[in-house]
Structure 1
Amino acid sequence: MSQIPSQQPTAGAISVAIKSVSRRVNGLRIHARAAGQGSPVVLLHGWPQTSYAWRKLIPLLAQRHTVIAPDLRGFGDSGKPFSGYDKKTIAGDLFALLQSLGLENACIVGHDMGGQVGYAFAALYPQLTRKFVFIESGLPGFGQENAMNVATGGSWHFGFNMAGDISEELVRGREALFVRHFIRRDTVGTVDPSSISGADIDVYARSLAQPGALRASFSYYRTLFDDRKHNEQFGQTKLEMPVLAIGCEFGYGQGAKTTMEKVATNVSSAIIESSGHYPAEEQPERLASVLLDFFT
């Protein structure tokens, strides 16, 4: 395992060595960042990001916990197969990863698309999920359809990402422009643009420019109707572990809470102030405080 230099969210943060871990599970390579010691916490990034999204949060959590932040199937340094992008299958990747690392259970934290993967994992493997955190996310079958419909104020990118080969061809070579739009947009973007710098955006853009990465990225959207069927099945049995739904003041607000209350019995909630859709990068200390309180 090689070491990835940790980045500090503040001058006073404790330096933490972040290791690079790779495991071959379910027929593909899964890469993850790992740090710290203590009870395990798994961080699942959103779209169109990678485990790099947690770079500011990992050192804050690793002072008390073993932190594992994988690149989900198709992203970052993980494999990019042609299929398997429904969240049920990706939850199976996570299960196999935890087994390979010898972890019997963990607190699962998912942001955006990672929240959908986290929900599938918690529903499939409740015995492995000590607690579940659902950040700035929604679920097909439980309200996300409104966000997918521009006629009800939803975002255009759902349809664009699901369109097929034309999506890849229009974005290819313009990955930085594409990522920058979502991170810097006025609605559900960042409040402070400097919190995700141009260099950070380039990290995500270079990841998307890898062979197969755009196809894999868009496949997370092209499987949403499969996810809806799976979620409707999962939702017949509500989650019983403690669940924390986190929204952001300038993100989706109470949307995560509203969604989790439909599928879980023990839900608490929090709002991260002065943050858009990306609290781990924009308000890492506030997010870490909320998470650490919930974990303990």
Structure 2
Amino acid sequence: MALAGIALRDWRAQGRDFTFRGHTIRYWSAGNGAPLLLIHGFPTASWDWHYLWQPLAERYRVIACDMLGFGDSAKPQQHDYRILEQADLQQALLEHLGVREPVHLLVHDYGNSVGQELLARHEEGGFAMLSCVFLNGGLFPETHRAVLSQKLLLSPLGGFFGKLFDRKRLAQNFAKVFGPATQASEAELDNFWELIRHNDGQKVMHRLIHYILDRRQHRERWVGAMQRTAVPLRLIDGPEDPISGAHMVERYRELIPRPDTVMLDGIGHYPQVEAPEPVLANYLAFRQKRTE
């Protein structure tokens, strides 16, 4: 059965706010049971999870926020955005919600790096994690194949390019990274763009893109944590993704002991949007097998 998803207007109406270091952060929480933290990617927001939200909330306590600089959260234009601070934000959100027990993670893209940082903190005793499932993302900087827009945002012209970034350029970029038969609809593109442009988000994209450099800086600590951990991990990947598709899965299998990987044929960079049903099925199978 196809998952219905949640219209953006309805999704926004369900959100609440809390303050993190003086900035307003929009977050969502639903369901009961073991806490499951969902962490979105670049350049979109937590609405990415809207197809999976209700099915997961029927089983777990699901929690997500638009990270600083994303979606409906604050987007300070002179801020120095870093992955470590976004991990601090996730921990602050859990504290705000009174979550004291260990949590499960389901993460994508930019969120993969935040998840890796939280896993490293788990290994160091600063966070309590029960499991982590990664979707497409740059887990290893040596396999990350940046698209042209990412390269331009990271260049000295990044600020200028960000101001020129518009819905047309978003559509062009997403056409390249979605699967050939699972392209985003015009309505989805409208919604993605609305979340990016809200609070002038295109003006901070060149600052958010620093995550690519963060991945290089923290590579040994993050990958080392994945190699050492006893926390159950799974990678669910769309192999058609030119950024972090089949070639990234191959590297994962080389580096991670007892690799648990699933590839979804024909799917690109956004599995939770392009193929939410198999993502859900493979996530629930993982939880049943490894952690429940």
Determine the structure 2 residue equivalent to 1:181: 172
Identity %: 25
Deviation at 1:213, TM superposition (A): 1.4
Q: Normalized against structure 2, the TM-score is what?
A: 0.82
2:188 is equivalent to residue 200 of structure 1: yes
Return the alpha-carbon distance in structure 1 between the equivalents of residues 180 and 62 of structure 2.
27
Return the alpha-carbon distance in structure 2 between the equivalents of residues 129 and 31 of structure 1.
23
2:106 is equivalent to residue 109 of structure 1: yes
2:57 is equivalent to residue 62 of structure 1: yes
Question: 8 Å contact 1:48–1:179 — kept in the other structure?
Answer: no
Mapping of 1:254-269 within 5 angstroms? 255-256=248-249, 258-259=251-252, 262=255, 265=257, 267-269=259-261
Question: 8 Å contact 1:60–1:285 — kept in the other structure?
Answer: no
Deviation at 1:257, TM superposition (A): 6.1
Question: 8 Å contact 1:42–1:69 — kept in the other structure?
Answer: yes
Deviation at 1:260, TM superposition (A): 7.3
Mapping of 1:116-195 within 5 angstroms? 116-126=113-123, 127-139=127-139, 142=140, 144-148=141-145, 155-164=147-156, 166-172=157-163, 174-185=165-176, 188-193=177-182
Question: 8 Å contact 1:180–1:201 — kept in the other structure?
Answer: yes
Aligned letter for 1:253?
A: A
Determine the structure 1 residue equivalent to 2:240: 250
2:270 is equivalent to residue 270 of structure 1: no
Aligned letter for 2:175?
A: R
1:38–1:248 Cα change, 3 Å: same
String of CA shifts for 1:90-119, please: whole Å, max 9, x gaps. Answer: 111111111111112211111111111111
Greater RCO, 1 or 2 (C-alpha within 8 Å, sep 6+): 2
Mapping of 1:18-29 within 5 angstroms? 19-29=14-24
Aligned letter for 1:87?
A: I
1:193–1:283 Cα change, 3 Å: closer
Count, aligned residues: 273
Aligned letter for 2:30?
A: A
1:258–1:43 Cα change, 3 Å: same
2:231 is equivalent to residue 241 of structure 1: yes
CA RMSD of aligned residues (A): 2.7
Aligned letter for 2:264?
A: I
Determine the structure 2 residue equivalent to 1:219: 207
SS in 1 for 2:246: coil
Determine the structure 2 residue equivalent to 1:88: 84
2:271 is equivalent to residue 279 of structure 1: yes
Return the alpha-carbon distance in structure 2 between the equivalents of residues 193 and 286 of structure 1.
13
- Higher fraction of strand: 1
Deviation at 1:146, TM superposition (A): 4.5
Return the alpha-carbon distance in structure 2 between the equivalents of residues 280 and 228 of structure 1.
26
1:254–1:147 Cα change, 3 Å: closer
Question: 8 Å contact 1:116–1:138 — kept in the other structure?
Answer: yes
Return the alpha-carbon distance in structure 1 between the equivalents of residues 94 and 201 of structure 2.
24
Question: 8 Å contact 1:50–1:72 — kept in the other structure?
Answer: yes
Question: 8 Å contact 2:150–2:209 — kept in the other structure?
Answer: yes
1:174–1:235 Cα change, 3 Å: closer
Q: 2:32 aligns with which of 24, 32, 37?
A: 37
Return the alpha-carbon distance in structure 1 between the equivalents of residues 103 and 20 of structure 2.
18
Determine the structure 2 residue equivalent to 1:232: 220
More off after superposition, 125-134 vs 59-68: 125-134
Q: Normalized against structure 1, the TM-score is what?
A: 0.81
> Runs of 5+ in structure 1 lacking a partner?
1-7, 149-153
Deviation at 1:168, TM superposition (A): 4.1
More off after superposition, 266-275 vs 73-82: 266-275
> Runs of 5+ in structure 2 lacking a partner?
none
Question: 8 Å contact 1:242–1:267 — kept in the other structure?
Answer: no
Determine the structure 1 residue equivalent to 2:281: 289
1:193–1:266 Cα change, 3 Å: closer
SS in 1 for 2:42: coil
Return the alpha-carbon distance in structure 2 between the equivalents of residues 250 and 242 of structure 1.
25
